[in-house]
């Protein structure tokens, strides 16, 4: 009985990790798309390849946000504390360096 309960717990944690990684794909895809479009438009002669690739990535990101919104929310809920700790650490180091 305990072995079966343990297997259910392992599967449950695996599912959460997979959802977290799936949720990370949509913001990353959107960021890559925006960077590609900006890089294509920043030149004197706009690069159609950059613009088409960027728009394709943005379309995939929008569809991903629509289709996997719960995974994106899981990613945001999981990443928010980590980002806050990282930004707080940067603020503390900056304050200590300023005092020196």
Tens-of-pLDDT digits for all 100 residues of the chain?
A: 445 545 555 555 555 667 777 788 888 888 889 988 888 888 778 788 888 899 999 998 888 888 888 888 877 887 888 889 999 999 999 999 888 8
Give CA separation, 46 vs 31, 38, 51, 92, in Å: 19, 10, 8, 42
Number of domains in the chain: 1
pLDDT of residue 14: 57
Closest Cα partner for 63 from 33, 20, 19, 21?
Answer: 33
Distance CA 62, CA 54 (A): 12
pLDDT of residue 2: 47
Closest Cα partner for 29 from 59, 73, 50?
Answer: 59
pLDDT of residue 63: 87
> What domain range is 9 assigned to?
2-99
């Amino acid at each position: 009985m305990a072995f079966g309960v343990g297997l259910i717990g392992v599967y449950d944690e695996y599912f959460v990790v997979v959802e977290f990684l799936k949720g990370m794909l949509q913001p990353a895809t959107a960021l890559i798309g925006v960077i590609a479009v900006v890089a294509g438009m920043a030149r004197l002669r706009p690069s159609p390849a950059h613009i088409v690739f960027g728009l394709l990535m943005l379309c995939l990101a929008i569809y991903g946000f629509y289709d996997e919104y719960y995974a994106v929310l899981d990613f945001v809920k999981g990443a928010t504390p980590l980002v806050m700790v990282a930004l707080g650490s940067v603020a503390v180091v900056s304050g200590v360096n300023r005092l020196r």
